[in-house]
Amino acid sequence: MVISAVIKARAFIPVALAGAMVLAGCSSEPGPVPISSLSSALAAPSEDSAVTFDAQATCETYFQLDLLRSTVAVGVKDVGKKERRALLVEYQQLLSDLVGTAGDAVNSGELPQQVLTNAEKMQRILDKFGKRDGIDSLSKRQKKLLTLQANRVEARCATAGYALPQENIDARELIP
């Protein structure tokens, strides 16, 4: 007796869900709800229906980092010690954000694993510096490695359809 009640209840659940979908469709749409929309509403959502913006967030964070790199490359000779420290902290924060968004983009499949790997390499270089160090503490070799990794991230963003903004291009033209 109990088993037959459970079987009846299990059979009733899809019917109740379909009825609720029909009622919801009738109250919000002026025309009749087609049967195909009911079956698609009850089906499991596909991965194509999920809209993610992880690659966009990653590339926008990279573009901010690139703008900072260009600003630093123009020169920090006239900048005080506190400002140099602040630039390094900002650089480290942007790299931390880049690693986080790159991880999300890689997990969602929007960007390849190399983007995360390159961002982590850049972060390891800057993690060696403490609060007392300024942006001018970077050696030529470290700057070269950062540039190499950054160029790789930029290339992956361009491949994903996110081109370097004009503001960044203009800032690069100011580099001596």
Task: Chunk the chain into consecutive blocks of 10 residues (it has 176) and report each block's average pLDDT, rounded to whole numbers.
Answer: 40 42 46 44 42 80 91 76 84 92 92 94 86 76 91 93 91 83
In single-letter form, the type of residue at position 70 comes to: S
Q: Give residue 73's pLDDT.
A: 79
Q: Give residue 97's pLDDT.
A: 94
Cβ atoms of 17 and 42 closer than 8 Å: yes
Please indicate, yes or no, whether the overall pTM of this predicted structure exceeds 0.75: no
Q: Give residue 100's pLDDT.
A: 93
Distance CA 85, CA 158 (A): 31
Give residues with Cβ within 8 angstroms of 22, minimum separation 6: 33, 38
Burial 96-117 (b: 16+ CB within 10 A, else e): ebbbebbbbbbeeebbeeebbe
Tokens found for residue 128: 């060696």
